[in-house]
């Protein structure tokens, strides 16, 4: 018997947590050491990427004759449901074609990026074609979608299930976010579920609730099909009982887009495949993206698996780069690896917070805050949103180590008028990274002629600046001390500091100068 009115989908149509955690294998049997329970660290997840909790599903208004005809069409595999009698299917159909039409339109735009590939792989593996629309019910085809229960990605895998099906999930990489790798895992998992239950309705229910929950419910009720199980079981969650009706409605919509007034999907349209390049452990991915002229958001969309702006230590990984940028990327990857120096703290947005207020509190510019958090300048803050604050985390290296590192790799000579902020801006980094990379305080006064290490050494911008700085360095004035001169007076005349003069001329702090002495002064 069909399921009658239950309660319904998420207000933006987002999916629900798949593979309920209670039905997974024991933790220590499946999860790699250090593997997280959620899609990403708190400061790596935009609140908009988190799937909201369910709400009441409104009643469907009367459907047109054309819509009713669409609802009555069969799909590519037997489901055992008369949609004409099932109010939940009709309500979901109305919900996505009318109430949440804008949401459905956005989903279709994202789906176009991945569906041609998914369809090709499902058909090659002998799976029913209409299963390719399952991500509509799960994530709206958002690779970064995360449920409150910890399911993640286009296919909404829980961590243990993902690892069991060959995906890497750790604090550095989460391949549930990779639409292509996770599709292979979904194919294997769906095949396994169908092999377990011999019925696609039950297999889909198990995809949502976990095979353990469905197996126990079938045994307890003595039923053999999904709809009888829903009527007989008091243990199955409402969302699982609604899952198949919701999926059916979405399949009907997806197969009849033009008739329903949506832009049709083009299954022959393929996005240009990026080139996969091998990167060494600890490679600075943010610097890599900047070296090829990509902002972090665009790079992250091509490489959704990475949970940090650097490659993991101890192992090489591959990154996707657009074909026309491969030469620039290869040039960057030939350089010695310079691990990122920036450390981050997490901050939860409170009522009344503003970008400017937070920037003042942590002495970080609004532009840097927004860049680090991958948001546009016009994006408003939301209470509870997690922000990454650069330069606020506990130190992992001593100041002495940082200074030693910087002295060996110095690639920039400070010029008159330079500040940490101006140098950071010039090389598209942030003052916190620059100060930490050199083991100096943010408030430090730079000296003309001082050597600094700017991360991403070797980029075109740094090479130009270094050549310019070297030229400046050769403009040395050999000043002859005159009667009545003092270090302070000479420094003021040349726009430098007395400490600069002491350093350039190897003078003791309390050293004296005499008329006729020659002093080196860099201008």
- The two three-digit tokens of residue 59, written as one number: 């009643």
Check whether 398 has a pLDDT greater than 60: no
Among 61, 125, 138, 211, which one carries the catalytic annotation? 138
In this predicted structure, the answer to whether residue 344 has a pLDDT above a threshold of 80 is: no
Q: Which pLDDT belongs to residue 83?
A: 59
- Averaged pLDDT for residues 329-348: 78
Band of pLDDT at residue 33, cut at 50, 70 and 90 = very low
Percent of the chain with pLDDT over 70: 76
- pLDDT the model gives residue 514: 85
pLDDT tens digits along 365-393:
777 788 778 776 667 888 888 888 876 55
Token readout for 328 is 């620039």
- Given a cut of 80, whether residue 104 has pLDDT beyond it is yes
* Statement: residue 157 has pLDDT above 80: yes
Secondary structure letter of residue 397 according to DSSP: S
pLDDT at 107 over 90: yes
Whole-number Å distance between alpha carbons of 368 and 355: 11
Name the β-bridge partners of 284.
310
Q: What is the pLDDT of residues 496-520, one digit of tens each?
A: 777 778 777 877 766 778 888 888 8
138 is catalytic: yes
pLDDT at 77: 81
For residue range 239-271, list pLDDT tens digits in order. Answer: 999 999 999 999 999 999 999 999 999 999 888
Mapping DSSP onto H, E and C, the string for 66-114 reads HHHHHHCCCCCCCCCCCCCCCHHHHHHHHHHHHHCHHHHHHHHHHHHHH
Q: Is the pLDDT of residue 333 over 80?
A: yes
Residue 478 belongs to what H/E stretch? strand 476-480
Closest CA to 154 of 126, 114, 188: 114
Tens-place pLDDT, residues 212-243: 999 999 999 999 999 999 999 999 999 999 99
The number of C-alpha atoms within 13 Å of 317 and in the hemisphere containing its C-beta is: 22
Looking at residue 391, its pLDDT comes to 63
- Cα 264 to chain centroid, rounded: 29
Residue 451 pLDDT more than 90?
no
């Amino acid at each position: 018997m069909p399921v009658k009115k239950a309660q319904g989908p998420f207000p933006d149509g987002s999916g629900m947590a798949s593979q309920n955690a209670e039905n997974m294998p024991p933790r220590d049997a499946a999860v790699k050491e250090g593997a997280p329970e959620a899609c990403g660290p708190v400061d790596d997840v935009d609140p908009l990427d988190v799937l909201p909790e369910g709400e009441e599903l409104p009643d469907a208004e009367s459907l047109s004759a054309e819509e009713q005809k669409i609802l009555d069409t069969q799909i590519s595999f037997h489901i055992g449901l008369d949609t004409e009698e099932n109010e939940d299917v009709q309500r979901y159909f109305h919900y996505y074609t009318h109430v949440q039409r804008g949401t459905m339109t956005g989903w279709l735009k994202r789906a176009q990026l991945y569906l041609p590939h998914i369809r090709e792989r499902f058909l090659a593996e002998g799976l029913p074609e209409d299963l390719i629309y399952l991500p509509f019910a799960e994530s709206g085809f958002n690779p970064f979608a995360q449920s409150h229960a910890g399911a993640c990605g286009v296919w909404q895998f829980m961590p243990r299930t993902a690892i069991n099906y060959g995906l890497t999930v750790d604090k550095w990489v989460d391949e549930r976010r990779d639409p292509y790798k996770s599709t292979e895992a979904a194919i294997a998992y769906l095949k396994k579920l169908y092999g377990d239950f011999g019925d696609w309705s039950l297999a889909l229910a198990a995809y949502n609730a976990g095979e353990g929950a469905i197996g126990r419910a079938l045994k307890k009720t003595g039923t053999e099909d999904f709809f009888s199980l829903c009527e007989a079981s008091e243990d199955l969650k409402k969302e699982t009982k609604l899952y198949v009706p919701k999926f059916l409605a979405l399949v009907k919509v997806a197969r009849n887009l033009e008739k329903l007034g949506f832009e049709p999907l083009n299954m022959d349209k393929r996005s240009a495949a990026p080139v996969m390049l091998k990167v060494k452990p600890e490679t600075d991915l943010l610097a890599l993206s900047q070296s090829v002229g990509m902002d972090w958001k665009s790079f992250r969309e091509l490489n959704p698996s990475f949970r940090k702006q650097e490659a993991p230590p101890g192992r090489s990984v591959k990154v996707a780069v657009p074909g026309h940028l491969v030469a620039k990327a290869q040039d960057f990857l030939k350089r010695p690896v310079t691990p990122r120096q920036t450390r981050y703290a997490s901050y939860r947005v409170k009522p009344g917070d503003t970008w400017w207020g937070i920037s003042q509190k942590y002495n970080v510019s609004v532009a840097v805050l927004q860049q680090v958090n991958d948001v546009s300048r016009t994006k408003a803050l939301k209470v509870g949103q997690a922000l990454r604050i650069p330069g606020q985390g506990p130190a992992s290296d001593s100041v002495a180590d940082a200074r030693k590192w910087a002295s060996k790799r110095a690639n920039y000579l400070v010029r008159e008028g330079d500040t940490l902020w101006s140098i950071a801006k010039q090389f598209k980094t942030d003052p916190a990274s620059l100060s930490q990379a050199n083991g100096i305080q943010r408030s430090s006064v730079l000296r003309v002629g001082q050597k600094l290490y700017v991360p991403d050494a070797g980029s075109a911008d740094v090479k130009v600046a270094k050549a310019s700085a070297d030229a400046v360095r050769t403009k040395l004035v050999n000043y002859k001390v005159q009667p009545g001169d003092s270090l302070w007076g000479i420094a003021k005349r040349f726009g430098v500091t007395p400490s600069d003069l002491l350093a350039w001329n190897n003078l003791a702090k309390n050293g004296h100068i005499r008329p006729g002495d020659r002093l080196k002064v860099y201008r």
